[in-house]
Amino acid sequence: MLKREYIIGELDTIVGKVPQVSTTWSNTDVWSTIKVRWSIGRMNYKVKQGLYAVGNPDKSSSIFVTANYKLSFDHIRLALKGIDAWMLVLDTKGINVWCAAGKGTFGTKELSYRIKAHGLEKLVDHKKVIVPQLGAVGVAAHEVKSKTGFTVMYGPVLAEDIKAYISSGYKVTAEMRKVRFTLMDRVKLIPVELSYGKYYLLLVPAVFFILAGLNPHGYSIDLAWENGSLSIIYLLVAYFSGCVLTPLFLPWIPFRSFSLKGLFTGWLTAGIIFYFLSRSTNIIEIISWFLMMGSISSFLSMNFTGTSTYTSLSGVQKEMKISLPAQIIAAGIGFITWIILRFL
């Protein structure tokens, strides 16, 4: 269990004691953010659902709704620095607003329940809650209104726009509404992508390393070392191409479909490797590696549709219908060819 260093006090209110949160980062916060980005021990990133106070809010203060995922919670409390406000934290099982809204845990039901359970109509006199716009996927504003009498106002997509939103008299500009997918956003996602392979990242290279020792006369450890290490380099390059290069250079890589983008980066890196590093390699072997590296990079890039913020399900289904079988077949042919080459 995390120590709750972000709680700095308690406020006596008409609806009972409400914990008061800090609006600054502690070292523990910084460390836990790093860990969560790399998905280490991620279950610890829940905060307790319920009502919190920022500063010294009163009856006229705004209520900001968020999820009980620690990073969502942190973003809001840090953005509210210097402001007196309430925070209503929904129980989303420790999942961020966007995901939880998609699943419905950040939704009409939980929001209406908490508005009532925490006696918000006694706590404030304005009957409004501010929900992050991305929560709209799970919240039907008109239903919350009819269930609780509270009006849902959709706030900006990014917590960092909250100050501007408040000072403009709670107006969301078209700019604040838009979900972007900037280079920085994508850089932050790379650790998540890299950790995708998990144990396959050890298993697959190990298999290649072992198989690389096969030859017409039996087995040779020297060959395993020689060809095996090269194979591992090729595999890691393909992995890097799909998990790092495609996300990073996404807008500049030709093609719209993610699998084609991945094929492009995969072949580009394979081309560079074989041109500079392994020129003397047998042409059939090079082709088998192009098939495998292209497929790996393409598959991993396709996986990035999960974290991208603009891909539709219909689109992903359409591209996968062709690309998934193509990846499997190409990787299969590449692999079998590579095995056969061991015995020639």
Q: Nearest approach, Cβ of 112 to other proteins (angstroms)?
A: 14
Q: Nearest approach, Cβ of 305 to other proteins (angstroms)?
A: 5
Q: Nearest approach, Cβ of 185 to other proteins (angstroms)?
A: 10
Q: Out of 130, 134, 224, 253, point to the residue binding other proteins (CB under 8 A).
A: 134
Cα–Cα distance for residue pair 73/79, rounded to 1 Å: 10
Binding mask 195-224 for other proteins (x = CB under 8 A): x-----------------------------
Q: Out of 9, 16, 271, 306, point to the residue binding other proteins (CB under 8 A).
A: 306
If binding is defined by CB under 8 A, does position 169 make contact with other proteins?
Answer: no
Would you list the DSSP string of 260-272?
A: HHHHHHHHHHHHH
If binding is defined by CB under 8 A, does position 112 make contact with other proteins?
Answer: no
Quick one: 189 or 296, whose CB is closer to other proteins?
189
If binding is defined by CB under 8 A, does position 128 make contact with other proteins?
Answer: no
Quick one: 17 or 142, whose CB is closer to other proteins?
142
Q: Out of 311, 330, 331, 338, point to the residue binding other proteins (CB under 8 A).
A: 311
Quick one: 242 or 334, whose CB is closer to other proteins?
242
Q: Is 192 exposed, middle or buried (0-12, 13-18, 19+ CB in 10 A)?
A: middle
Would you list the DSSP string of 222-287?
A: HHHHHHHHHHHHHHHHHHHIIIIIHHHHGGGSS-SSHHHHHHHHHHHHHHHHHHHT-TTS-HHHHH
Residue type, 66: T
Quick one: 61 or 303, whose CB is closer to other proteins?
303
Number of CB atoms found within 10 A of residue 43's CB: 6
Size of the site for other proteins (CB under 8 A): 58
Quote the Cα angle for 94-99-100, to 5°: 55
Output the 3-class SS for 84-134.
CEEEEEECCCCCCHHHHHHHCCCCHHHHHHHHHHCCHHHHCCCCEEEEEHH
| Contacts with other proteins, residue ranges (CB under 8 A) | 36-39, 42, 93, 95-96, 99-100, 102-103, 133-134, 136-142, 154, 157, 172, 174, 177-181, 189, 192, 195, 250-252, 256-258, 302-303, 305-320, 324
